[in-house]
Protein backbone atom coordinates (compact mmCIF):
# COMPACT_ATOMS: atom_id res chain seq x y z
CA UNK A 1 0.00 0.00 0.00
CA UNK A 2 2.97 2.34 0.36
CA UNK A 3 6.33 2.94 -1.26
CA UNK A 4 8.11 4.53 1.69
CA UNK A 5 7.86 5.14 5.44
CA UNK A 6 7.15 8.67 6.62
CA UNK A 7 10.19 8.93 8.88
CA UNK A 8 12.75 7.88 6.27
CA UNK A 9 12.15 10.79 3.84
CA UNK A 10 14.82 13.47 3.43
CA UNK A 11 16.29 15.77 0.77
CA UNK A 12 17.54 12.80 -1.25
CA UNK A 13 13.87 12.09 -2.13
CA UNK A 14 13.18 15.56 -3.61
CA UNK A 15 10.79 15.52 -6.59
CA UNK A 16 10.03 11.83 -6.12
CA UNK A 17 6.48 10.51 -6.01
CA UNK A 18 5.76 8.63 -2.79
CA UNK A 19 2.87 6.75 -1.26
CA UNK A 20 2.66 6.93 2.54
CA UNK A 21 0.40 5.31 5.11
CA UNK A 22 -0.05 6.27 8.74
CA UNK A 23 -1.95 8.12 11.43
CA UNK A 24 -2.65 11.85 11.55
CA UNK A 25 -0.53 13.10 14.41
CA UNK A 26 -1.72 16.69 14.02
CA UNK A 27 -3.82 18.75 11.61
CA UNK A 28 -3.32 22.49 11.02
CA UNK A 29 -5.20 24.90 8.73
CA UNK A 30 -3.07 27.92 7.78
CA UNK A 31 -4.72 30.47 5.57
CA UNK A 32 -6.40 28.03 3.26
CA UNK A 33 -3.50 25.54 3.19
CA UNK A 34 -3.91 22.39 5.28
CA UNK A 35 -0.91 20.72 6.93
CA UNK A 36 -1.06 17.15 8.20
CA UNK A 37 1.68 15.53 10.26
CA UNK A 38 1.50 11.90 9.17
CA UNK A 39 2.99 9.38 11.60
CA UNK A 40 4.11 5.79 11.13
CA UNK A 41 6.57 3.51 12.90
CA UNK A 42 9.58 5.32 11.37
CA UNK A 43 8.58 8.88 12.27
CA UNK A 44 6.61 11.88 11.00
CA UNK A 45 6.34 13.54 7.58
CA UNK A 46 4.59 16.85 6.98
CA UNK A 47 1.93 16.65 4.26
CA UNK A 48 0.72 19.80 2.50
CA UNK A 49 -2.70 20.02 0.81
CA UNK A 50 -3.32 23.05 -1.43
CA UNK A 51 -6.84 24.27 -2.24
CA UNK A 52 -6.17 23.91 -5.98
CA UNK A 53 -6.51 20.14 -5.54
CA UNK A 54 -10.18 20.71 -4.86
CA UNK A 55 -11.38 17.17 -4.16
CA UNK A 56 -8.33 16.27 -2.04
CA UNK A 57 -8.56 19.55 -0.13
CA UNK A 58 -12.24 19.00 0.64
CA UNK A 59 -11.45 15.52 1.96
CA UNK A 60 -8.57 16.89 4.06
CA UNK A 61 -10.96 19.35 5.72
CA UNK A 62 -12.80 16.38 7.23
CA UNK A 63 -9.64 14.73 8.54
CA UNK A 64 -9.02 14.74 12.30
CA UNK A 65 -6.27 13.54 14.61
CA UNK A 66 -5.61 9.77 14.56
CA UNK A 67 -7.44 9.19 11.26
CA UNK A 68 -5.64 6.51 9.24
CA UNK A 69 -4.64 7.80 5.79
CA UNK A 70 -2.94 6.83 2.59
CA UNK A 71 -1.25 9.84 0.99
CA UNK A 72 0.10 10.01 -2.55
CA UNK A 73 2.26 13.01 -3.40
CA UNK A 74 5.60 14.53 -4.35
CA UNK A 75 8.47 15.28 -1.97
CA UNK A 76 9.41 18.97 -2.06
CA UNK A 77 11.76 21.17 -0.07
CA UNK A 78 10.40 23.23 2.80
CA UNK A 79 10.82 26.97 2.77
CA UNK A 80 14.01 27.94 4.59
CA UNK A 81 12.07 29.60 7.42
CA UNK A 82 9.94 26.45 7.88
CA UNK A 83 12.77 23.93 8.35
CA UNK A 84 12.45 21.83 11.52
CA UNK A 85 15.89 20.64 12.60
CA UNK A 86 14.43 18.56 15.46
CA UNK A 87 13.19 15.80 13.18
CA UNK A 88 14.81 13.73 10.41
CA UNK A 89 12.23 14.87 7.82
CA UNK A 90 12.44 18.53 8.83
CA UNK A 91 13.83 19.79 5.52
CA UNK A 92 11.11 18.34 3.30
CA UNK A 93 7.36 17.99 3.03
CA UNK A 94 5.02 15.99 0.82
CA UNK A 95 2.76 17.90 -1.56
CA UNK A 96 -0.35 15.73 -1.60
CA UNK A 97 -1.99 14.86 -4.90
CA UNK A 98 -4.43 12.38 -3.39
CA UNK A 99 -5.63 11.34 0.07
CA UNK A 100 -7.49 8.17 0.96
CA UNK A 101 -9.10 7.81 4.37
CA UNK A 102 -8.45 4.21 5.39
CA UNK A 103 -10.26 4.64 8.70
CA UNK A 104 -11.64 7.35 10.92
CA UNK A 105 -11.09 7.81 14.64
CA UNK A 106 -13.28 8.98 17.47
CA UNK A 107 -11.81 11.81 19.56
CA UNK A 108 -9.23 10.03 21.72
CA UNK A 109 -9.67 10.12 25.54
CA UNK A 110 -6.27 11.74 26.13
CA UNK A 111 -3.68 13.62 24.13
CA UNK A 112 -0.75 11.42 23.18
CA UNK A 113 1.74 14.17 23.99
CA UNK A 114 0.18 14.97 27.38
CA UNK A 115 2.31 14.43 30.49
CA UNK A 116 -0.66 14.67 32.84
CA UNK A 117 -2.59 11.57 31.80
CA UNK A 118 -3.13 9.19 34.71
CA UNK A 119 -1.68 5.69 34.50
CA UNK A 120 -5.18 4.26 34.99
CA UNK A 121 -6.40 5.95 31.79
CA UNK A 122 -3.25 4.98 29.91
CA UNK A 123 -3.65 1.32 30.87
CA UNK A 124 -7.37 1.27 30.03
CA UNK A 125 -6.61 2.59 26.53
CA UNK A 126 -3.21 0.90 26.24
CA UNK A 127 -3.53 0.51 22.46
CA UNK A 128 -3.58 4.32 22.24
CA UNK A 129 -0.86 4.80 24.85
CA UNK A 130 1.40 2.53 22.83
CA UNK A 131 1.19 4.95 19.90
CA UNK A 132 3.28 7.45 21.86
CA UNK A 133 6.89 7.80 20.68
CA UNK A 134 8.21 7.02 24.16
CA UNK A 135 6.34 3.73 24.37
CA UNK A 136 7.17 2.81 20.78
CA UNK A 137 10.86 3.40 21.49
CA UNK A 138 10.82 1.38 24.72
CA UNK A 139 9.28 -1.67 23.10
CA UNK A 140 11.74 -1.42 20.23
CA UNK A 141 14.55 -1.39 22.79
CA UNK A 142 13.01 -4.45 24.40
CA UNK A 143 13.01 -6.22 21.04
CA UNK A 144 16.68 -5.32 20.52
CA UNK A 145 17.55 -6.64 23.99
CA UNK A 146 15.94 -10.03 23.35
CA UNK A 147 17.50 -10.21 19.88
CA UNK A 148 20.96 -9.49 21.32
CA UNK A 149 20.49 -12.08 24.07
CA UNK A 150 19.39 -14.78 21.64
CA UNK A 151 22.27 -14.03 19.33
CA UNK A 152 24.79 -14.12 22.21
CA UNK A 153 23.46 -17.40 23.59
CA UNK A 154 23.41 -19.00 20.13
CA UNK A 155 27.02 -17.95 19.50
CA UNK A 156 28.06 -19.60 22.78
CA UNK A 157 26.44 -22.92 21.88
CA UNK A 158 23.37 -22.63 24.12
CA UNK A 159 20.23 -24.34 22.85
CA UNK A 160 16.78 -22.76 23.14
CA UNK A 161 14.39 -25.30 24.70
CA UNK A 162 10.80 -24.64 25.76
CA UNK A 163 9.57 -25.94 29.12
CA UNK A 164 5.93 -26.50 30.21
CA UNK A 165 3.56 -23.84 31.51
CA UNK A 166 1.14 -26.37 32.97
CA UNK A 167 3.14 -28.08 35.68
CA UNK A 168 3.21 -29.10 39.34
CA UNK A 169 3.21 -26.63 42.25
CA UNK A 170 6.68 -26.35 43.83
CA UNK A 171 7.79 -24.02 46.64
CA UNK A 172 9.92 -21.21 45.21
CA UNK A 173 9.17 -18.34 47.57
CA UNK A 174 5.81 -17.06 46.29
CA UNK A 175 2.27 -18.30 45.82
CA UNK A 176 1.52 -20.23 42.64
CA UNK A 177 -1.15 -19.35 40.10
CA UNK A 178 -3.28 -22.49 39.96
CA UNK A 179 -5.14 -23.93 36.96
CA UNK A 180 -7.94 -26.45 37.65
CA UNK A 181 -7.87 -29.65 35.62
CA UNK A 182 -11.12 -30.68 33.91
CA UNK A 183 -9.93 -34.22 33.22
CA UNK A 184 -8.47 -34.85 36.69
CA UNK A 185 -11.24 -33.82 39.06
CA UNK A 186 -10.07 -31.94 42.14
CA UNK A 187 -6.51 -31.61 40.86
CA UNK A 188 -4.65 -28.50 39.74
CA UNK A 189 -1.79 -27.49 37.53
CA UNK A 190 0.40 -24.59 38.58
CA UNK A 191 1.86 -21.94 36.29
CA UNK A 192 5.65 -21.95 36.76
CA UNK A 193 7.34 -19.39 38.99
CA UNK A 194 10.41 -20.28 36.93
CA UNK A 195 11.52 -23.25 34.79
CA UNK A 196 13.94 -24.20 37.60
CA UNK A 197 13.34 -27.93 37.91
CA UNK A 198 12.85 -28.52 34.19
CA UNK A 199 16.11 -26.81 33.28
CA UNK A 200 17.90 -28.94 35.88
CA UNK A 201 16.35 -32.03 34.29
CA UNK A 202 17.69 -30.82 30.94
CA UNK A 203 21.18 -30.91 32.46
CA UNK A 204 20.54 -34.53 33.51
CA UNK A 205 19.47 -35.08 29.88
CA UNK A 206 22.91 -34.06 28.65
CA UNK A 207 22.14 -30.82 26.81
CA UNK A 208 24.78 -29.01 28.91
CA UNK A 209 23.88 -25.50 27.74
CA UNK A 210 20.24 -24.39 27.78
CA UNK A 211 18.51 -21.02 27.56
CA UNK A 212 14.99 -19.73 27.14
CA UNK A 213 13.30 -16.32 27.12
CA UNK A 214 10.29 -17.37 29.11
CA UNK A 215 7.18 -16.14 30.92
CA UNK A 216 7.01 -16.81 34.65
CA UNK A 217 4.11 -16.34 37.09
CA UNK A 218 4.04 -15.40 40.77
CA UNK A 219 0.98 -14.57 42.83
CA UNK A 220 2.67 -12.06 45.13
CA UNK A 221 2.21 -8.51 46.35
CA UNK A 222 3.23 -6.09 43.64
CA UNK A 223 5.38 -2.96 43.44
CA UNK A 224 6.94 -0.84 40.72
CA UNK A 225 9.39 -3.54 39.58
CA UNK A 226 7.11 -6.58 39.91
CA UNK A 227 4.30 -8.10 37.84
CA UNK A 228 2.22 -11.26 38.29
CA UNK A 229 3.57 -12.42 34.93
CA UNK A 230 7.06 -11.46 33.94
CA UNK A 231 9.74 -12.45 31.45
CA UNK A 232 13.23 -13.71 32.13
CA UNK A 233 16.25 -14.94 30.26
CA UNK A 234 16.71 -18.37 31.82
CA UNK A 235 20.12 -20.04 31.58
CA UNK A 236 21.55 -23.36 32.81
CA UNK A 237 24.93 -24.98 32.16
CA UNK A 238 26.80 -28.13 33.10
CA UNK A 239 30.46 -28.44 34.12
CA UNK A 240 30.92 -24.70 34.76
CA UNK A 241 31.84 -23.04 38.07
CA UNK A 242 30.16 -19.92 39.42
CA UNK A 243 33.16 -17.86 38.27
CA UNK A 244 32.86 -19.21 34.73
CA UNK A 245 29.10 -18.61 34.63
CA UNK A 246 29.27 -15.06 35.98
CA UNK A 247 32.19 -14.19 33.67
CA UNK A 248 30.23 -15.33 30.61
CA UNK A 249 27.08 -13.49 31.69
CA UNK A 250 28.88 -10.23 32.37
CA UNK A 251 30.39 -10.49 28.90
CA UNK A 252 26.82 -10.58 27.59
CA UNK A 253 25.74 -7.59 29.72
CA UNK A 254 28.81 -5.56 28.68
CA UNK A 255 28.09 -6.22 25.02
CA UNK A 256 24.40 -5.42 25.46
CA UNK A 257 25.09 -2.01 27.04
CA UNK A 258 27.70 -1.20 24.43
CA UNK A 259 25.35 -2.19 21.59
CA UNK A 260 22.25 -0.36 22.83
CA UNK A 261 23.60 2.58 24.83
CA UNK A 262 27.21 2.89 23.62
CA UNK A 263 28.15 2.55 27.29
CA UNK A 264 31.41 0.85 28.24
CA UNK A 265 30.88 -1.03 31.49
CA UNK A 266 33.99 -2.14 33.45
CA UNK A 267 36.09 -4.89 31.86
CA UNK A 268 35.61 -6.83 35.07
CA UNK A 269 32.60 -6.17 37.27
CA UNK A 270 33.41 -5.62 40.95
CA UNK A 271 32.10 -8.12 43.48
CA UNK A 272 31.08 -7.95 47.12
CA UNK A 273 30.00 -10.50 49.69
CA UNK A 274 26.46 -10.45 51.03
CA UNK A 275 27.83 -9.73 54.51
CA UNK A 276 29.81 -6.71 53.32
CA UNK A 277 26.89 -5.42 51.27
CA UNK A 278 24.63 -5.50 54.33
CA UNK A 279 27.29 -3.98 56.59
CA UNK A 280 28.20 -1.10 54.29
CA UNK A 281 24.96 -0.46 52.38
CA UNK A 282 22.18 -2.12 54.39
CA UNK A 283 20.78 -3.95 51.34
CA UNK A 284 21.85 -6.98 49.28
CA UNK A 285 21.44 -5.00 46.06
CA UNK A 286 23.84 -2.07 46.68
CA UNK A 287 23.74 0.96 44.40
CA UNK A 288 27.44 1.69 43.98
CA UNK A 289 26.76 4.96 42.21
CA UNK A 290 26.21 6.36 45.71
CA UNK A 291 29.45 7.02 47.65
CA UNK A 292 27.72 6.91 51.07
CA UNK A 293 28.59 4.00 53.37
CA UNK A 294 27.25 2.88 56.73
CA UNK A 295 29.76 2.73 59.57
CA UNK A 296 29.53 0.41 62.57
CA UNK A 297 29.85 2.30 65.86
CA UNK A 298 28.88 -0.47 68.29
CA UNK A 299 32.22 -0.30 70.13
CA UNK A 300 31.92 3.46 70.64
CA UNK A 301 28.39 3.19 72.00
CA UNK A 302 28.72 0.18 74.35
CA UNK A 303 29.34 2.22 77.50
CA UNK A 304 27.26 5.37 76.89
CA UNK A 305 24.38 6.10 79.28
CA UNK A 306 22.09 6.64 76.30
CA UNK A 307 20.29 3.25 76.31
CA UNK A 308 18.83 3.84 72.85
CA UNK A 309 22.39 3.26 71.60
CA UNK A 310 24.06 1.24 74.37
CA UNK A 311 21.33 -1.41 74.42
CA UNK A 312 21.71 -2.44 70.75
CA UNK A 313 25.50 -1.97 70.94
CA UNK A 314 25.69 -4.75 73.55
CA UNK A 315 23.32 -7.14 71.76
CA UNK A 316 24.79 -9.52 69.18
CA UNK A 317 21.54 -9.49 67.17
CA UNK A 318 21.35 -5.70 67.08
CA UNK A 319 23.40 -2.90 65.62
CA UNK A 320 24.28 0.80 65.93
CA UNK A 321 25.32 2.35 62.61
CA UNK A 322 26.07 5.82 61.33
CA UNK A 323 25.61 7.30 57.86
CA UNK A 324 27.56 10.44 56.97
CA UNK A 325 25.98 12.69 54.33
CA UNK A 326 28.37 15.26 52.81
CA UNK A 327 26.78 18.74 52.80
CA UNK A 328 23.82 17.44 54.78
CA UNK A 329 24.09 20.04 57.53
CA UNK A 330 22.03 22.33 55.30
CA UNK A 331 18.98 20.07 55.67
CA UNK A 332 16.09 21.85 57.34
CA UNK A 333 14.25 20.58 60.39
CA UNK A 334 11.26 19.78 58.16
CA UNK A 335 13.41 17.74 55.78
CA UNK A 336 14.87 15.78 58.70
CA UNK A 337 11.34 15.19 60.04
CA UNK A 338 10.32 13.89 56.61
CA UNK A 339 13.29 11.50 56.59
CA UNK A 340 12.34 10.37 60.09
CA UNK A 341 8.87 9.46 58.81
CA UNK A 342 10.46 7.71 55.85
CA UNK A 343 12.64 5.37 57.94
CA UNK A 344 9.55 4.64 60.04
CA UNK A 345 8.20 2.75 57.02
CA UNK A 346 10.97 0.21 57.60
CA UNK A 347 10.36 -0.14 61.35
CA UNK A 348 12.80 2.47 62.69
CA UNK A 349 11.49 4.23 65.80
CA UNK A 350 13.35 7.46 65.10
CA UNK A 351 16.26 9.07 63.25
CA UNK A 352 18.91 10.63 65.47
CA UNK A 353 21.45 12.94 63.84
CA UNK A 354 24.42 15.22 64.45
CA UNK A 355 25.07 18.28 62.28
CA UNK A 356 28.69 19.41 61.87
CA UNK A 357 28.39 23.22 61.76
CA UNK A 358 31.20 25.76 61.59
CA UNK A 359 30.84 26.42 65.31
CA UNK A 360 30.92 22.70 66.10
CA UNK A 361 28.58 19.71 66.24
CA UNK A 362 24.94 20.26 67.15
CA UNK A 363 22.19 17.76 67.96
CA UNK A 364 19.62 17.01 70.65
CA UNK A 365 21.50 13.75 71.41
CA UNK A 366 24.95 15.26 72.13
CA UNK A 367 23.99 15.88 75.78
CA UNK A 368 23.40 12.13 76.14
CA UNK A 369 26.58 11.09 74.36
CA UNK A 370 29.07 13.61 75.70
CA UNK A 371 31.79 15.45 73.80
CA UNK A 372 34.30 12.57 73.81
CA UNK A 373 31.93 10.04 72.24
CA UNK A 374 30.66 12.66 69.79
CA UNK A 375 34.22 13.35 68.61
CA UNK A 376 34.90 9.61 68.26
CA UNK A 377 31.81 9.27 66.03
CA UNK A 378 32.91 12.25 63.94
CA UNK A 379 36.37 10.73 63.59
CA UNK A 380 35.13 7.25 62.67
CA UNK A 381 32.72 8.58 60.04
CA UNK A 382 35.29 11.13 58.80
CA UNK A 383 32.63 13.82 58.95
CA UNK A 384 33.64 17.39 58.16
CA UNK A 385 32.13 20.83 58.56
CA UNK A 386 28.88 21.03 56.60
CA UNK A 387 28.09 17.30 56.92
CA UNK A 388 25.35 15.52 58.82
CA UNK A 389 25.52 12.09 60.47
CA UNK A 390 22.36 10.00 60.71
CA UNK A 391 22.09 7.09 63.15
CA UNK A 392 20.26 3.78 63.22
CA UNK A 393 20.01 1.63 66.36
CA UNK A 394 18.03 -1.54 67.07
CA UNK A 395 17.54 -4.94 65.47
CA UNK A 396 20.12 -5.44 62.75
CA UNK A 397 17.61 -6.11 59.98
CA UNK A 398 15.61 -2.96 60.82
CA UNK A 399 18.72 -0.76 61.00
CA UNK A 400 19.99 -2.15 57.70
CA UNK A 401 16.69 -1.71 55.90
CA UNK A 402 16.02 1.76 57.32
CA UNK A 403 19.48 3.27 56.73
CA UNK A 404 19.96 1.34 53.48
CA UNK A 405 16.82 2.79 51.96
CA UNK A 406 17.48 6.22 53.48
CA UNK A 407 20.89 6.17 51.77
CA UNK A 408 19.21 5.70 48.41
CA UNK A 409 16.54 8.34 49.05
CA UNK A 410 19.14 10.89 50.13
CA UNK A 411 21.11 10.20 46.95
CA UNK A 412 18.02 10.85 44.82
CA UNK A 413 16.97 13.95 46.75
CA UNK A 414 20.44 15.52 46.97
CA UNK A 415 21.84 14.15 43.68
CA UNK A 416 24.74 12.35 45.34
CA UNK A 417 25.45 9.92 42.49
CA UNK A 418 29.10 9.95 41.37
CA UNK A 419 28.76 7.74 38.28
CA UNK A 420 26.11 6.79 35.71
CA UNK A 421 26.40 2.99 35.76
CA UNK A 422 27.54 0.67 38.53
CA UNK A 423 27.27 -3.12 38.07
CA UNK A 424 28.33 -5.40 40.93
CA UNK A 425 28.18 -9.12 41.66
CA UNK A 426 26.98 -10.15 45.12
CA UNK A 427 28.33 -13.52 46.34
CA UNK A 428 28.34 -15.63 49.51
CA UNK A 429 24.71 -15.38 50.48
CA UNK A 430 23.63 -17.30 53.58
CA UNK A 431 22.11 -20.64 52.69
CA UNK A 432 19.16 -20.13 55.04
CA UNK A 433 17.17 -17.42 56.74
CA UNK A 434 16.38 -18.25 60.38
CA UNK A 435 12.85 -17.50 61.62
CA UNK A 436 12.08 -16.44 65.20
CA UNK A 437 10.92 -19.98 65.99
CA UNK A 438 14.23 -21.41 64.78
CA UNK A 439 12.89 -22.83 61.50
CA UNK A 440 14.87 -22.34 58.30
CA UNK A 441 13.87 -20.84 54.94
CA UNK A 442 15.90 -21.02 51.74
CA UNK A 443 17.30 -17.57 50.88
CA UNK A 444 17.20 -18.32 47.15
CA UNK A 445 15.47 -21.68 46.54
CA UNK A 446 15.89 -25.18 47.99
CA UNK A 447 17.89 -26.40 44.99
CA UNK A 448 20.84 -24.05 45.61
CA UNK A 449 24.08 -25.81 46.51
CA UNK A 450 25.69 -25.09 49.89
CA UNK A 451 29.37 -24.21 50.12
CA UNK A 452 30.14 -27.23 52.34
CA UNK A 453 29.36 -30.92 52.53
CA UNK A 454 26.48 -32.68 54.27
CA UNK A 455 28.33 -32.81 57.59
CA UNK A 456 28.96 -29.05 57.50
CA UNK A 457 25.34 -28.48 56.59
CA UNK A 458 23.98 -30.56 59.46
CA UNK A 459 26.41 -29.20 62.06
CA UNK A 460 26.08 -25.51 61.22
CA UNK A 461 23.06 -24.81 59.00
CA UNK A 462 22.52 -21.26 60.29
CA UNK A 463 25.97 -20.07 59.24
CA UNK A 464 26.72 -22.04 56.09
CA UNK A 465 26.95 -20.06 52.87
CA UNK A 466 25.35 -20.88 49.54
CA UNK A 467 26.97 -20.93 46.12
CA UNK A 468 24.61 -18.23 44.89
CA UNK A 469 25.27 -14.98 43.06
CA UNK A 470 23.24 -11.92 42.04
CA UNK A 471 24.04 -9.26 39.46
CA UNK A 472 23.03 -5.78 40.60
CA UNK A 473 23.04 -2.70 38.36
CA UNK A 474 22.37 0.74 39.85
CA UNK A 475 20.76 -0.75 42.93
CA UNK A 476 18.43 -3.14 41.07
CA UNK A 477 18.89 -6.89 41.03
CA UNK A 478 18.76 -7.76 37.34
CA UNK A 479 19.95 -11.35 37.56
CA UNK A 480 20.29 -14.10 40.12
CA UNK A 481 21.54 -17.64 40.04
CA UNK A 482 23.52 -20.36 41.76
CA UNK A 483 25.33 -23.63 41.45
CA UNK A 484 22.67 -26.31 41.98
CA UNK A 485 22.58 -29.42 44.14
CA UNK A 486 23.40 -32.33 41.81
CA UNK A 487 23.40 -35.23 44.28
CA UNK A 488 20.24 -36.80 45.69
CA UNK A 489 21.49 -37.23 49.29
CA UNK A 490 22.45 -33.54 49.53
CA UNK A 491 19.07 -32.50 48.11
CA UNK A 492 17.24 -34.68 50.64
CA UNK A 493 19.32 -33.17 53.46
CA UNK A 494 18.48 -29.61 52.43
CA UNK A 495 14.79 -30.44 52.16
CA UNK A 496 14.84 -32.02 55.65
CA UNK A 497 16.45 -28.90 57.12
CA UNK A 498 13.63 -26.91 55.53
CA UNK A 499 11.07 -29.07 57.30
CA UNK A 500 10.20 -31.27 54.31
CA UNK A 501 10.08 -34.89 55.46
CA UNK A 502 10.76 -37.90 53.24
CA UNK A 503 7.12 -38.48 52.33
CA UNK A 504 6.53 -34.85 51.36
CA UNK A 505 9.83 -34.74 49.48
CA UNK A 506 8.83 -37.83 47.53
CA UNK A 507 5.38 -36.38 46.79
CA UNK A 508 6.61 -32.97 45.64
CA UNK A 509 10.07 -33.66 44.25
CA UNK A 510 10.24 -37.41 43.63
CA UNK A 511 10.91 -36.91 39.91
CA UNK A 512 13.87 -34.62 40.68
CA UNK A 513 15.33 -36.86 43.40
CA UNK A 514 15.10 -39.82 41.04
CA UNK A 515 16.75 -37.88 38.20
CA UNK A 516 19.68 -36.85 40.41
CA UNK A 517 20.50 -40.55 40.86
CA UNK A 518 20.97 -41.16 37.13
CA UNK A 519 24.32 -39.47 36.52
CA UNK A 520 23.38 -35.81 37.06
CA UNK A 521 26.37 -33.59 36.20
CA UNK A 522 27.49 -30.62 38.34
CA UNK A 523 25.53 -27.67 37.01
CA UNK A 524 24.39 -24.13 37.68
CA UNK A 525 22.63 -21.24 36.06
CA UNK A 526 21.16 -17.80 36.28
CA UNK A 527 18.01 -15.93 35.31
CA UNK A 528 17.86 -12.29 34.23
CA UNK A 529 14.70 -10.27 34.76
CA UNK A 530 14.13 -9.01 31.22
CA UNK A 531 11.48 -6.45 32.22
CA UNK A 532 13.69 -4.94 34.93
CA UNK A 533 16.76 -4.90 32.71
CA UNK A 534 14.89 -3.10 29.91
CA UNK A 535 13.45 -0.67 32.48
CA UNK A 536 16.97 0.25 33.60
CA UNK A 537 18.27 0.60 30.04
CA UNK A 538 15.32 2.84 29.09
CA UNK A 539 15.48 4.91 32.27
CA UNK A 540 11.83 4.10 33.05
CA UNK A 541 10.40 4.27 36.57
CA UNK A 542 8.41 1.04 36.42
CA UNK A 543 8.48 -2.23 34.52
CA UNK A 544 4.90 -1.46 33.47
CA UNK A 545 6.47 1.16 31.19
CA UNK A 546 8.38 -1.49 29.20
CA UNK A 547 5.67 -4.18 28.97
CA UNK A 548 3.14 -3.92 26.16
CA UNK A 549 0.09 -4.95 28.20
CA UNK A 550 0.95 -4.92 31.92
CA UNK A 551 -1.19 -5.50 34.98
CA UNK A 552 -1.88 -2.84 37.62
CA UNK A 553 -0.44 -2.99 41.14
CA UNK A 554 -3.55 -4.97 42.10
CA UNK A 555 -2.78 -7.58 39.41
CA UNK A 556 -5.67 -6.49 37.19
CA UNK A 557 -5.84 -5.68 33.47
CA UNK A 558 -7.83 -2.48 32.95
CA UNK A 559 -7.86 -3.01 29.20
CA UNK A 560 -9.66 -6.36 29.23
CA UNK A 561 -11.21 -6.20 32.73
CA UNK A 562 -9.34 -9.33 33.79
CA UNK A 563 -9.62 -11.20 36.07
CA UNK A 564 -13.32 -11.76 35.39
CA UNK A 565 -16.18 -13.95 36.51
CA UNK A 566 -16.52 -17.36 34.88
CA UNK A 567 -19.92 -18.69 33.71
CA UNK A 568 -21.46 -21.16 36.18
CA UNK A 569 -21.63 -23.85 33.49
CA UNK A 570 -17.87 -23.68 33.06
CA UNK A 571 -17.34 -23.82 36.83
CA UNK A 572 -19.56 -26.90 37.05
CA UNK A 573 -17.54 -28.56 34.30
CA UNK A 574 -14.42 -27.99 36.41
CA UNK A 575 -16.21 -29.15 39.59
CA UNK A 576 -15.57 -25.71 41.16
CA UNK A 577 -17.77 -23.45 43.25
CA UNK A 578 -17.12 -19.85 44.29
CA UNK A 579 -17.62 -18.78 47.90
CA UNK A 580 -18.80 -15.21 48.45
Instruction: Classify the C-alpha dihedral 244-248-253-258 as positive or negative.
Output: positive
Among 486, 455, 449, which Cα is nearest to 468's? 449
Whole-number pLDDT of residue 171: 62
Q: Helix 502-516 and helix 488-497: axis angle, to 10°?
A: 150
| pLDDT at residue 236, rounded to an integer | 98
**Tens place of pLDDT per residue across the chain (580 aa):** 999 999 999 999 999 999 999 999 999 998 789 999 999 999 999 999 999 999 999 999 999 999 999 999 999 999 999 999 999 999 999 999 999 999 999 999 999 988 899 999 999 999 999 999 999 999 999 999 999 999 999 999 999 999 999 999 876 567 899 999 999 999 999 999 999 999 999 999 999 999 999 999 999 876 666 899 999 999 999 999 999 999 999 999 999 999 999 999 999 999 999 999 999 999 999 999 999 999 999 999 999 999 999 999 999 999 999 999 999 999 999 999 999 999 999 999 999 999 999 999 999 999 999 999 999 999 999 999 999 999 999 999 999 999 999 999 999 999 999 999 999 999 999 999 988 888 999 999 999 999 999 999 999 999 999 999 999 999 999 999 999 999 999 999 999 999 999 999 999 999 999 999 999 999 999 999 999 999 999 999 999 999 999 999 889 999 999 999 999 999 999 999 888 7
> Would you state the CATH architecture of domain 135-271+425-547?
2-Layer Sandwich (3.30)
Q: Give the β-pairing of 271-273 and 360-362.
A: unpaired
Q: What is the pLDDT of residue 580?
A: 74
| Tally: H helices and E strands in the chain | 18, 22
Q: Is the pTM of this model over 0.75?
A: yes
Nearest 5 degrees, angle CA 238-CA 485-CA 191? 90
Which element (helix H / strand E) includes 386? none
Q: What CATH number has the domain spanning 6-103?
A: 2.40.50.140
pLDDT value of residue 30: 84
| pLDDT in the model for residue 32 | 87
Q: Which CATH superfamily is domain 290-418 in?
A: GAD-like domain (3.30.1360.30)
What are the boundaries of each domain within the chain? 6-103, 135-271+425-547, 290-418
Per-residue exposure over 97-131, b if at least 16 CB sit within 10 Å of its own CB, e if not: eebeeeeeeeeeeeebeeeebeeeebbbbbebbbe
Contact 255, 144 (CB under 8 A): no
295-301, Cβ contacts within 8 angstroms, sequence gap of 24 or more: 295/321, 295/322, 295/323, 295/324, 295/380, 295/381, 296/320, 296/321, 297/321, 297/322, 297/377, 297/380, 297/381, 297/391, 300/373, 300/376, 300/377, 300/380, 301/373, 301/393
Measured in whole angstroms, the distance separating CA 35 from the mean position of its chain's CA atoms is: 42
Angle subtended by helix axes 502-516 and 196-204, to nearest 10: 40
Q: Give Cβ neighbours of residue 579 (< 8 Å, ≥ 6 apart).
A: none
Instruction: Tell me how far apart the terminal alpha carbons of the chain are, to the nearest angstrom.
Output: 54
- 500-504, long-range: CB < 8 A, 24+ apart: 500/446
Estimate the crossing angle of helix 133-155 against helix 530-538, to 10 degrees.
Answer: 120
DSSP assignment of 300-324? HHTT-S-HHHHHHHT-TTEEEEEEE
Amino acid sequence: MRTHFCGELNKSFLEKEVELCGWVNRRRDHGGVIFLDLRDKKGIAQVVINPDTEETFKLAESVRNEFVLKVTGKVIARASDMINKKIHTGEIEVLAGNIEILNTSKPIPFQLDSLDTSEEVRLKYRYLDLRRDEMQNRLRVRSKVTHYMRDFMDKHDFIDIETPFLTKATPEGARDYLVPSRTHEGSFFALPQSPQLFKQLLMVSGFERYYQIVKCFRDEDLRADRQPEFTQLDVETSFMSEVEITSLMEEMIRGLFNELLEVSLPKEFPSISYHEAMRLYGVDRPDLRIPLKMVDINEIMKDVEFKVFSGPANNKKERVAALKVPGGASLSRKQIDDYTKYVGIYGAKGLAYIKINEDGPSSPIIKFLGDEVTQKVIGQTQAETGDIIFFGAGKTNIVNEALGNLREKLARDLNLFDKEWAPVWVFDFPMFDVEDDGSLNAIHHPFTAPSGDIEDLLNNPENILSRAYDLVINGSEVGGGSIRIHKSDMQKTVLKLLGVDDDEARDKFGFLLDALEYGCPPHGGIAFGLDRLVMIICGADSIREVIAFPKTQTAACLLTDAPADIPKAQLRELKLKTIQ
